[in-house]
Amino acid sequence: MTTTPQLTGADASMARFEKQTSRYGSITMSIGLAFSLIGPIYIAFFSGLDIDPSMIWVAFIAVGATFGVLWLVEPLTYFPILGSAAMYQAFMIGNISNKLLPAAIVAQSTIGAKPGTKRGDLAAVMAICGAATVHLTSLLLFVGVLGTWLVSMIPLEVIEVARLYILPSLMGAVLVQSIVAMKSLRPTVIALVLALIMNFVVMPVAPNLGMFATAIVVISSIVFSWVLRDRKKIYTAES
């Protein structure tokens, strides 16, 4: 008869933390979902706009066909870096790829915490708390208080340049930071090669796949990285 070893110290605290975040995270996400549905439910049934169920299903299918692939891709992409607790925060707050994920990666890199470890998960949680605080404070100041005046003072050309280049530059910095933090050459090369093939080979031939390009590259990268993994290194580590 075997007995389950009792966790003590930091391991017990981390286990309790993960259990509580899973419980209250699920509750919080459910409450957020309910609040987000109040407006559409009111419009559909109490606004007098004569919206029938078929219209709702058509709209749902249209949105699902466009963004449904992200329902699978985003959790698979973000979880290895953020961890379970930060995932609840991230999907509740939003702006994951252009705000929360960079904050988590920079925090982990700064303290030398590897993504996927307990230290890395806690760093992601604290980074997202900081990013959300800064974001809300800046929104209150630069949008709520100074918004109209600030926009009127900035030339339109500057706004257009920022809109065109700031997101690609941010994504490039996040990509480089992720590569440096993960230190996994083989999966990185596989992902880059598949992305280049998708953009310069597959897309010109089959442009209709553009909607699913990200999902195809992510899933293919996972499969090829597992098939082409360094089995000798894994065997040595297990031994």
Q: What is the DSSP string of 126-138?
A: HHHHHHHHHHHHH
Give dist(CA 166, CA 106) in Å, integer: 18
Residue 7: predicted pLDDT: 59
CB 225, CB 186: distance < 8 Å: yes
Domain spans in the chain, listed from the N-terminal domain onward: 52-182, 184-239
**Contact call for residues 214 and 73 (beta carbons, < 8 A):** yes
Tell me what pLDDT residue 9 has. 65
Other C-beta atoms lying within 10 Å of the C-beta of residue 213: 17
Q: What sign has the CA pseudo-torsion 132, 101, 34, 214?
A: positive
How many other C-beta atoms can be found within 10 angstroms of the C-beta atom of residue 78? 20
pLDDT of residue 232: 67
Average pLDDT of adjacent 10-residue blocks, the chain of 239 residues:
57 84 90 90 83 84 76 83 89 85 88 87 92 89 82 79 77 74 81 90 86 81 85 56
Q: In b/e form, how buried is each residue of 164-188, taking b as 16+ CB within 10 angstroms?
A: eeeeeeeeeebeebbeebbeeeebb
pLDDT score, position 5: 55
Q: Which of 75, 72, 81 is nearest to 101 (CA)?
A: 81
SS3 3: coil
Question: In this predicted structure, what is the pLDDT of residue 129?
Answer: 92
- The confidence score (pLDDT) of residue 3 equals 52
CB neighbours of residue 59 within 10 Å: 12
What is the Cα 187 distance to its own chain's centre?
Answer: 19
> Looking at residue 1, what is its pLDDT?
46
Helices marked H in the chain? 9-46, 53-93, 101-111, 118-138, 147-153, 156-182, 185-197, 203-205, 213-227, 231-238
